[in-house]
Structure 1
Amino acid sequence: MTRTGERVVTSRLRTPSWIARIEAPDGRVLGAGVLLARDRVLTAGHVVGPGPRYTVRLVGVPGLAAVAATVRADEHVPQRQDAFGDRSGDLALLRLAAPLPAEHTTRLYRLAAPHGPVSMYGFPDGDDGGRWHGATLVAARGRDSQVQLRPLTPGELAAPGFSGGGVVDHATDQVIGIVLSVDDGPGYAFSYMSPTETILSHLPQVAAWTDGAEAVDPRLRSDTGTTTGRLDLPFATQLTAWFRGAGWPVLVTVVPAAGDRAWTLQRAVTLADRELRTHRNTSAVSHDPPETVPPAGAHDLALDVTGLTAAEVMDRIAERLGIRDDPRPERLGTLRLPLAAVLVAVDRAAEPDALLGLLDRLARQGARLLLVFRRPGERAGGAADLLVHRPLRERWTRLHAELRRITDELGPALDVRQDRVLPAPGTRHLLDRAESGVRRTRMLRAWVAHTPEHEREPGRADLLFTFEDAVGRRRRRLEQAVAMLDARLRRREELLGRVGAEWPLCRQRATAHGDRVVEAYRLYEHALSLLRQTPCDIERAETAVEAFVGFCSAPAPEEEGAS
């Protein structure tokens, strides 16, 4: 909302009062910005730089004079690229020479797991009044966790004049970041935005104009630049693998409230957060093994649930995901991107059993959960069995069933149908791929039957997921191939019925005209033999049937003369 309580969404029907057009002294439009305070405008770092004077104009407020502005060096974060080519930074705060009315300011909003439709306001070439463009948030990109924006139409790709403009989330009606840059190459076109939490990691002073819940509970944060703990290397590696999306989506572990293991968890949670991951703390761990450093933006929420009810935990999750009014667990299933949450001290929650029920439901909807218990025992073991070991065994069992279905049912069914009917012209390659899938599935089935037990551990679940994807594709190809041949067999039965129904009438009519019955019988036998031939060539048989039916339908020469 704006300072006056105006919902941001209403401004999509007009120019928002908080959008700033940034101009060079000669009047050229350089980009856009967001008025966060009476004397502060947030924009992209490549739009402005320290030293020159700029002009800021609120184009959505008629009659308001333009204001001069400058950028201080300590409030300018230039765009950088790391060794992998990932961009970071590209942010700046303009200081205005004269304050603007407070009612035109707006605030940034923290929002986890960006997803769904957004709108952004900017100034494309030749349109100094600006316009809205629509886009869809795709996913985080790179180590700075910038977010891709896919334009709704090719004409809505963010042009350079959109750089620094606010991005408004449709679900929450909040400004959740600013536009940075555009990639417009062969076959693709994306814009990029810096989400609020990434902005805060570079410009922490922007927190004064920011709303929305922080991702990390203060009790779970660490100062990675201090030596208050020693890195537990195996545990750090396990945590980083989970944060990177590897292995089974639910990790259940035991971490006492103090000690090296607790410090290692806090370090991972801090580094995996967009807002808390800064140049200072990443520099502090730059000499640590890469497999112990999680990516930024790898979780949506890290919460110590000590003393919290299941409903309170759900409220915190809903707040981070921007779900309002109706924070029921089933609503999380409608999100395009799954939830990733770290919940600590699960065994010290106010309602451990109810919380476990909620977590089970979230896991079934695709959530990634890192569940930390303070003590080993029945609760931790029960959670691991419910959320990890039992569903993992069920997935392996389903995989075995799918393998059997392909090799023992769908594969033989395809063979039977290929013995009875030929494929349609141009579809032989589909059958070849289906047959190849059966052969490869037989080999996979033999491999899975002798898979070592350690290959079935939760940390190696990616192997299971790979198998499931491959088997799913093969099953769909086989079902498609079988369905295609079944359709041709049904066509064969239709043609047989048509010939069978036509022959008595044709024979009766042809007998009345002498030698026509011989020709009719010849065409009838030819069509029937092609239809009964195995495998049946439907196209040849259909041509023969049409010839027979056409002959029977045509008038005899005597009838033509009489007419």
Structure 2
Amino acid sequence: MGREDPWLARIEDTQGRVHGAGTMLDGEYVLTCAHVVEEAIDAGRGADREVRVRIAGHPDDAYPATVVESCWQPPLPDQRGDVAILALRSAVPGAPRARIRRTWQHDEIVRIFGFPAGTDNGQLASAKIASYDFTGERIQLDAVLEQRVDRGFSGAAALAASGEILGVIAVVRAPLAESSWMIAVRTLYKYASAVLDGHLAGRPSQVAPGDWPSPQVPEVLNDPVQLALTRHLVGWLASGGSGGVCAIGGGGAVALTSRLVGLTVPGYRRAAPDETVSGAPPGTVPQLGEVDAAVDATGRTTEQVAEQLAESLSLLTDRATDDLFHQLAELGSPIVVVVNAVDLAADPGELYYRLLEPIAARASSIGVRLLLAYHGDPPRYVRSAVAASLGGPAALAPPHGRHGGTTQVGRRLDRLDRLVEEVETAEGDARVCRDHVAPRILGTPPPQVAGAAALAVRLRVLRDTGSAAAGSTLRGWLLRELDACEEAAARSLVRARRLHAECTALLARRNRARGRLEAYRSEAAARGLIENLGESYEAARRLLYSGGCDLPLAELRVEEYHRAVRREIDGRQA
């Protein structure tokens, strides 16, 4: 193992029998799987749920250890949970402090040191990171060498080349299986943040816990609109599936976002008043560690925001401003990124167009959930991704024009529900079509910021506040938001269909050019002219059949070949 690696541990029962592996987090704590600890306790019949831990480099010393109750989650159904941290009765001197990385790259190689049957002194294996499983708590590892991750590796850390912990081995389906599964760091953090928080290689938020504003519970959660928005943003950030973008703005949006992000940070949550967490309305408290990177943009330059996001995600910071999207695309999804107070950045327009727009336009494809919050209303360039515009007191006045009773509002919401489903389908089709065409043809229309994720959140907020708005000052806000949501959904549907049509037309145009080229070649072959015109034909063919086709140039080469064929034919006939 490398010099930067944390110390290895072997989990034994009180009789000295080996049950699995673990990793020293520091001189006091050991990270492993709950089922390994349970097996050791049951087999050893030790008092006080005690096990023994042997540390690499200290093979003659068996350290008594017990479970840290706040960091204990036995296995749950559907391959979830199974996290344990052990506290040694006496500290191990000189142990390095382990570093844990929340993010990983597709096909990244990890090293695992475990104790399969017959190898009590351990064995090293390597694997390649594949993808999250269905529940999102496990990550599949595929074998890369003859030595497989086998039974006996449970509880071992999966280490990056730099020695950072990327997960803990939990499941091996069968002996010498091609695949195994590790517990993701976000899952470890979910169940054991009390100890693990101090070991993260990149801080999710660059704001120190003491600098967070205290949660404004009355202002945020006693308002029915902000309560509904908070609930549905929490659900969206935690959801599976593809990524997307949500922008919120107006009164309270920044405070709402600050509270939401803060409650994902253990230090902030522990310091918050009890009613902030235990007394909060259902669905308004996010999971610990739910946000991977967050930054308050107030007064910051685009470069500073990019560097802070990259640092939180353990990415390269020296080229973050112009390369953050490409680095994000290499990470295993889902990734949750929050930028608060976007309109208070040193240059909000540059921040969006240079840094955030490339991520926003591809968020659905790369599995990034991007939440943007504004003090004022979100600007026009992000209006397709607005999840709520909270507005101020003026927004509460009933709008001019159609008002509609409760029944009519309900019907409009039902129609909007169907329209949002259409948008989601159309945007998905357009995204697949563009992803197919873009590598093949230059000049493919740029990707667009998808609106489906934000529209779905916006619609749920409207439904939740619909009953509360009847006969209240909220009615004006509801009708304005309903108008805006209908307009945004219709606009998103048109944009998605147009993108699909434009990409399809480019592909059809290239295929027609291919067809003409082959027809002209057949005409040349019928007259024995292929060898004479081979260079002209190949010039056109190379453009049409290579990636990144310059279509206008290719069409020009096809016509040049056609004219050359006609000249040769006409010359022979003369």
Q: TM-score range by the shorter chain?
A: 0.5 to 0.7
Aligned in 2, Cα 1:322/1:351: closer, same or farther, shift over 3 Å? same
Deviation at 1:195, TM superposition (A): 0.8
Counterpart check, 1:182 vs 2:172: yes
Determine the structure 1 residue equivalent to 2:370. 369
Q: 1:74 aligns with which of 65, 69, 72?
A: 69
Q: 1:46 aligns with which of 23, 35, 41?
A: 35
Q: What SS is found at the alignment partner of 1:151?
A: strand
Counterpart contact for 2:430–2:499, Cα < 8 Å: yes
Give TM-score, length-normalised by structure 2.
0.57
- Aligned amino acid, residue 151 of structure 2: P
Determine the structure 2 residue equivalent to 1:90. 83
Q: What SS is found at the alignment partner of 2:10?
A: strand
Which structure has the bigger radius of gyration?
A: 1
Counterpart contact for 2:189–2:288, Cα < 8 Å: no
Q: 2:125 aligns with which of 117, 120, 133?
A: 133
- Aligned amino acid, residue 375 of structure 1: G
Aligned in 2, Cα 1:369/1:499: closer, same or farther, shift over 3 Å? closer
Aligned in 2, Cα 1:308/1:48: closer, same or farther, shift over 3 Å? same
- Aligned amino acid, residue 230 of structure 2: A
Aligned in 2, Cα 1:44/1:314: closer, same or farther, shift over 3 Å? same
Counterpart contact for 2:156–2:168, Cα < 8 Å: yes
Counterpart contact for 2:70–2:192, Cα < 8 Å: no
Counterpart contact for 1:224–1:284, Cα < 8 Å: no
Aligned in 2, Cα 1:332/1:207: closer, same or farther, shift over 3 Å? same
Deviation at 1:175, TM superposition (A): 2.2
Deviation at 1:48, TM superposition (A): 1.2
Counterpart contact for 1:87–1:142, Cα < 8 Å: no
Counterpart contact for 1:35–1:41, Cα < 8 Å: yes
Mapped to 1, the partners of 2:306 and 2:373 lie a distance apart of 17
Mapped to 2, the partners of 1:35 and 1:94 lie a distance apart of 10
Determine the structure 1 residue equivalent to 2:340. 344
Mapped to 2, the partners of 1:299 and 1:57 lie a distance apart of 35
Q: What SS is found at the alignment partner of 2:379?
A: helix
Counterpart contact for 1:140–1:146, Cα < 8 Å: yes
Mapped to 1, the partners of 2:124 and 2:60 lie a distance apart of 23
Aligned in 2, Cα 1:221/1:77: closer, same or farther, shift over 3 Å? farther
Counterpart check, 1:253 vs 2:253: no
Mapped to 1, the partners of 2:362 and 2:195 lie a distance apart of 37
Deviation at 1:472, TM superposition (A): 7.7
Give the 5 Å matches for 1:441-480.
457=488
Mapped to 2, the partners of 1:26 and 1:487 lie a distance apart of 79
Deviation at 1:32, TM superposition (A): 1.0
- Aligned amino acid, residue 348 of structure 1: L
Determine the structure 1 residue equivalent to 2:552. none
Mapped to 1, the partners of 2:372 and 2:186 lie a distance apart of 27
Deviation at 1:209, TM superposition (A): 4.7
Mapped to 2, the partners of 1:78 and 1:293 lie a distance apart of 20
Determine the structure 2 residue equivalent to 1:434. none
Aligned in 2, Cα 1:216/1:316: closer, same or farther, shift over 3 Å? closer
Per-residue CA distance 1:408-462 (angstroms, 9 max, x = gap) = xxxxxxxxxxxxxxxxxxxxxxxxxxxxxxxxxxxxxxxxxxxx99677369969
Determine the structure 2 residue equivalent to 1:101. 93
Q: What SS is found at the alignment partner of 2:171?
A: strand
Q: 2:233 aligns with which of 231, 239, 245?
A: 239
Counterpart contact for 1:201–1:275, Cα < 8 Å: no
Q: What SS is found at the alignment partner of 1:90?
A: strand
Q: What SS is found at the alignment partner of 2:179?
A: strand
Counterpart contact for 2:150–2:175, Cα < 8 Å: no
Mapped to 2, the partners of 1:36 and 1:356 lie a distance apart of 39
Mapped to 1, the partners of 2:487 and 2:104 lie a distance apart of 30
Aligned in 2, Cα 1:46/1:487: closer, same or farther, shift over 3 Å? farther
- Aligned amino acid, residue 88 of structure 1: G
Give the 5 Å matches for 1:290-309.
299-309=291-301
Q: What SS is found at the alignment partner of 1:119?
A: strand
- Aligned amino acid, residue 28 of structure 1: R
Determine the structure 1 residue equivalent to 2:403. none
Determine the structure 1 residue equivalent to 2:382. 384
Deviation at 1:156, TM superposition (A): 5.5
- Aligned amino acid, residue 155 of structure 2: G
Deviation at 1:148, TM superposition (A): 0.3
Aligned in 2, Cα 1:53/1:500: closer, same or farther, shift over 3 Å? closer
Q: What SS is found at the alignment partner of 2:165?
A: strand
Counterpart check, 1:330 vs 2:323: yes
The size of the alignment, in residue pairs, is: 419
Mapped to 2, the partners of 1:282 and 1:466 lie a distance apart of 44
Q: What SS is found at the alignment partner of 1:66?
A: strand
Per-residue CA distance 1:99-140 (angstroms, 9 max, x = gap) = 4331x4331324346655132222222333323333344445
Q: What SS is found at the alignment partner of 1:149?
A: strand
Counterpart contact for 1:268–1:294, Cα < 8 Å: yes
Aligned in 2, Cα 1:150/1:116: closer, same or farther, shift over 3 Å? same
Deviation at 1:487, TM superposition (A): 10
Counterpart contact for 1:31–1:47, Cα < 8 Å: yes
Determine the structure 1 residue equivalent to 2:465. none
Counterpart check, 1:161 vs 2:152: yes
Mapped to 2, the partners of 1:150 and 1:471 lie a distance apart of 39
Mapped to 1, the partners of 2:386 and 2:71 lie a distance apart of 46
Aligned in 2, Cα 1:142/1:112: closer, same or farther, shift over 3 Å? same
Determine the structure 2 residue equivalent to 1:29. 18
Mapped to 1, the partners of 2:143 and 2:83 lie a distance apart of 25
- Aligned amino acid, residue 372 of structure 1: A
Q: What SS is found at the alignment partner of 1:350?
A: coil
Mapped to 2, the partners of 1:276 and 1:177 lie a distance apart of 24
Q: What SS is found at the alignment partner of 1:37?
A: coil
Counterpart check, 1:355 vs 2:351: yes
Counterpart contact for 2:21–2:115, Cα < 8 Å: yes
Mapped to 1, the partners of 2:530 and 2:204 lie a distance apart of 76
Mapped to 1, the partners of 2:34 and 2:146 lie a distance apart of 25
Determine the structure 2 residue equivalent to 1:539. none
Q: 1:205 aligns with which of 195, 213, 234?
A: 195
Deviation at 1:205, TM superposition (A): 3.0
- Aligned amino acid, residue 313 of structure 2: L
Determine the structure 2 residue equivalent to 1:58. 55
Unmatched runs of 5 consecutive residues or more in structure 1? 1-7, 407-451, 502-563
Deviation at 1:344, TM superposition (A): 1.1
- Aligned amino acid, residue 300 of structure 2: L
Counterpart contact for 2:204–2:291, Cα < 8 Å: no
Mapped to 1, the partners of 2:348 and 2:112 lie a distance apart of 43
Deviation at 1:370, TM superposition (A): 1.6
Mapped to 2, the partners of 1:33 and 1:94 lie a distance apart of 12
Give the 5 Å matches for 1:218-229.
218=209, 229=221
Per-residue CA distance 1:213-255 (angstroms, 9 max, x = gap) = 1347446687799998326344235524652378983322214
What CA RMSD, in Å, does the superposition of the two structures yield over aligned residues? 5.3
Determine the structure 1 residue equivalent to 2:311. 319
Determine the structure 2 residue equivalent to 1:533. none
Deviation at 1:66, TM superposition (A): 2.5
Counterpart contact for 1:220–1:302, Cα < 8 Å: no
Aligned in 2, Cα 1:349/1:165: closer, same or farther, shift over 3 Å? same
Determine the structure 2 residue equivalent to 1:561. none
Aligned in 2, Cα 1:296/1:93: closer, same or farther, shift over 3 Å? same
Q: What SS is found at the alignment partner of 1:303?
A: strand
